[in-house]
Amino acid sequence: MAFRAWFRPPRHILTIFLGVAVVSAGTLGWLSWLLLQQDRALDLQRRQERLEQAADRATAVMRGALADLELRLASPSARTSKAPHGVVVLFSDPTGVIDGVRPTGGLLYYPTPEQMSDLPTAPFIVAEQAEFARQDLVAAAEQYTALASEGDAAGTAVRAGALAGLARVHRKARHPDAALAAYDELAALSDVRVGGLPAGLVARAGRARMFEEFARAPELRGEAAQLGRELRGGRWRLTKSQYQFYSAEALRWLGPPEPEIEVPDLHAEAVALADAVQWLWEERPWEAGPSPEPASRRLVQMSDIPVLAVWNASGERLQVGVAGPRYLATLAREAVPDGDLEWTLTDPAGRVVLGTPSLSPLAVRTAAASRLPWSLQVHAATGLDLSPTSPRQGLLSWVLVLLAAVWMTGAYFVVRAITRELAVERLQSDFVAGVSHEFRSPLSSLSQIAEMLVSDRFTSEDLRQQAYGVLARETDRLRRLVEGLLDFGRFSAGGADYHFEPLAIGPFLETLVAEFRTRAAATDHTIELMLPSETTYIRGDRDALTRAIWNLLDNAVKYSPDRPTVWVDVVREQDRVSLTVRDQGFGIPPDEQRAIFERFVRGAESKARRIKGTGVGLSMMQRIAEAHGGEIRLTSQPGQGSRFTMMLTLLSTSDALGTGEGLA
Ligand code: ADP
């Protein structure tokens, strides 16, 4: 039943509108959503394609670069030509002895000590006996000096050994200047080996030791700093233990603070390269194991620093190239030149070796697939929006938002209209209930009395007279009710016809109030009328004004049951007359003061107190006031009473008594 009621006009139009709106907005929204998703998918696909292409290009570039590197290793001119930037190339004879390095000093330390012929011990026997057995330093010095001068003939190795011995003896004899002179001579022999160490290093370390013994601190520091620089620059051909030993010595001699290495990363890389070479020489992948790889490449990690090792042992000789992060990064940058793309190299275990780990979609080329020593990932640069919306997507999103907004606004108005209509319906049914109630009580008393009269049940004439009185009152009440409703119909309708005429407000009100007093007597209310002293004319419709003022008085009496006085004040203003009906009843709360002027609306208090009414009086009065060119003003305080004021047009006496021109 309630469902069917929804489809009664005009609500069905709203319902249908709402339905159509929901369905169309839903469909549109759904379609846009689909389109948006499709667009995104397409976008992602395009992005992925670009990554894949970049990855393919990068793999090709890397493969080309590695092939080129291998070719250069194998080329006959490799020993003399420049090694590619960041690559250290080693050449070794078939026995594995390293006999060439490019660039010179490129390796910090070597896996094998330098091959050298044994130093003949015979020439030194006499000198060493004097130095160590007899402790005859003068004799020892003479012997060493002699050896050093004839050493030229015996070979630079003997000369170097003799100079080292001479310097040592002078040091022991505490002849620093003589010792220094010997060391200088020794230093000049540079790479000649003394006891397995380069003469230059022996001289440098010897000098430092001497300065230490003689507590010549500034010179010691200078010497130690120089030694450190030479070591880090790969100046000497040393084994790892020699390098580490002299590095530690240099540090100790320098004392705190520790020297700042110019480029620590580069030093770490140089260490990693030297370690990688050491590892290669231990592993010997070109000949060891069940499946030796005479020519191959591998990515190894040395203390977390990636090193690319390339070797070729297929010919007679072995060539090895090692390159660290510097080379790898340059290579990767060349391979992935696009600014908004990034790369990551990972080892076969999936660990990131170089580059920034990816958070975004990526294209991967595994080591196996690309035949590179690493896996390559290409991805969007970090910080780059991974799903930027295309202009179309942006537009679509806006359309969606707009659609939602339009739909919501529409729905709001529809719901509001329906709610209002429901409220009006409720008010109307309240009105019908109110009207029926108002009619029922006089009608039932009328029918009761009439029946009693017919059956002649009144025992005395007196009682019969009283019954006639009741009949007359109730009939009058009914008449007023009907008239009230008819007037409501008449005055509420838009084109009600009013008959305006000049009205002397004094006599008019006196008559009306006098008539009302008989009605008010039933509730013991008195009406106080205050009129202006001079005769005042207004322009008005007698019937309508009577209806309006009667209603105001009726309300004032009805809604002030415990306050027996109601006032009617008429005040002349410039060109207007204000008519106020005032009571001290229970008043009207502020939140109801607007609504009660609407049709069928009744105050909560009056309903709670079960005061009879239909809720049409004030709306009708407002229409009447408007027709008189004025309005009804209300001021009220709950619990203190209400005051309704009606503004009417003042007429000058001459206008009022004249021909009445211009008056309808
Ligand atoms: P009715 O009196 O039949 O209910 P009206 O349109 O005349 O209808 O008044 C509407 C409502 O305004 C009343 O139900 C009542 O709540 C309130 N009202 C009107 N006049 C007064 C008054 N003088 N004092 C208190 N409330 C009033």
Residue nearest to atom 11 of ligand 1 (CA): 602
Is 8's pLDDT higher than 70?
no
Same domain flag for 355 and 247: no
Same domain flag for 618 and 648: yes
The one-letter code for the residue type at 330 is T
Same domain flag for 88 and 235: no
Domain finish residue from 262, 286, 301: 262
Tell me, what's the pLDDT at 279?
A: 93
For residue range 622-648, list pLDDT tens digits in order. 988 988 888 889 999 999 999 999 998
Say whether pTM exceeds 0.75: no
Tell me, what's the pLDDT at 641?
A: 92
Tell me, what's the pLDDT at 386?
A: 45
- How many independent structural domains does the chain possess? 3
Residue 177 belongs to a domain: yes
Q: Is 319 in the pocket of ligand 1 (CB under 6 A)?
A: no
**Parent domain of 127:** 122-262
Residue 319 belongs to a domain: yes
Same domain flag for 202 and 304: no
Q: How far is the CA of 234 from the centre of ligand 1 (A)?
A: 109
Q: What is the pLDDT confidence band of residue 556, given thresholds at 50, 70 and 90?
A: very high
Same domain flag for 84 and 162: no
Tell me, what's the pLDDT at 599?
A: 83
Residue 447 belongs to a domain: no
The dihedrals phi and psi of 98, each to the nearest 5 degrees, come to: -75, 125
Same domain flag for 106 and 181: no
For residue range 148-195, list pLDDT tens digits in order. 887 565 578 888 999 999 999 999 999 999 999 999 999 998 888 888
Q: Which of 488, 525, 559 has most ligand 1 atoms within 8 Å of its beta carbon, as the pocket-test mutant?
A: 559
Same domain flag for 300 and 254: no
Q: Is 596 in the pocket of ligand 1 (CB under 6 A)?
A: yes
Residue 583 belongs to a domain: yes
Residue of 557, 512, 89, 547 whose CA lies nearest to 318: 89
Tell me, what's the pLDDT at 661?
A: 45
Pair 335, 58: CB distance under 8 Å: yes
Name the token pair of 269: 């890389």
Residue 18 belongs to a domain: no
Q: Is 641 in the pocket of ligand 1 (CB under 6 A)?
A: no
Percent of the chain scoring above 90 in pLDDT = 36
Same domain flag for 577 and 640: yes
CA 536: distance to chain centroid?
Answer: 74
Residue nearest to atom 21 of ligand 1 (CA): 555
CATH code of the domain in which 613 resides: 3.30.565.10
- Choice among 96-100, 112-116, 262-266, 409-413 with the minimum mean pLDDT: 112-116
- What mean pLDDT comes out for the span 479-485? 84
Tell me, what's the pLDDT at 65?
A: 92
Same domain flag for 313 and 352: yes
Same domain flag for 297 and 370: yes
Tell me, what's the pLDDT at 246?
A: 95
Domain finish residue from 262, 288, 320: 262
The dihedrals phi and psi of 343, each to the nearest 5 degrees, come to: -130, 155
- What mean pLDDT comes out for the span 214-232? 93
Domain finish residue from 380, 408, 435: 380
Q: Residue count of the chain, please give it.
A: 664
Q: Which residue has the higher pLDDT, 422 or 344?
A: 344
Residue 460 belongs to a domain: no
Q: Is 278 in the pocket of ligand 1 (CB under 6 A)?
A: no
Residue nearest to atom 3 of ligand 1 (CA): 613
- Choice among 130-144, 204-218, 345-359, 384-398 with the minimum mean pLDDT: 384-398
- What mean pLDDT comes out for the span 68-72? 88
Kindly report the CA angle at 464 between 458 and 468, in degrees rounded to 5?
135
Is 242's pLDDT higher than 90?
yes
Q: Is 431 in the pocket of ligand 1 (CB under 6 A)?
A: no
Q: How many whole angstroms separate alpha carbon 597 and alpha carbon 619?
A: 5
- Choice among 3-12, 208-217, 444-453 with the minimum mean pLDDT: 3-12
Burial class (CB within 10 angstroms; exposed 0-12, middle 13-18, buried 19+) of 291: exposed
Q: How many whole angstroms separate alpha carbon 19 and alpha carbon 628?
A: 46
Same domain flag for 227 and 324: no
Same domain flag for 131 and 256: yes
Q: Is 559 in the pocket of ligand 1 (CB under 6 A)?
A: yes
Name the token pair of 274: 């030297």
Is 63's pLDDT higher than 90?
yes
Residue 411 belongs to a domain: no
CATH code of the domain in which 191 resides: 1.25.40
HEC per residue, 565-590: EEEEEEEECCCEEEEEEEECCCCCCH
Residue 465 belongs to a domain: no
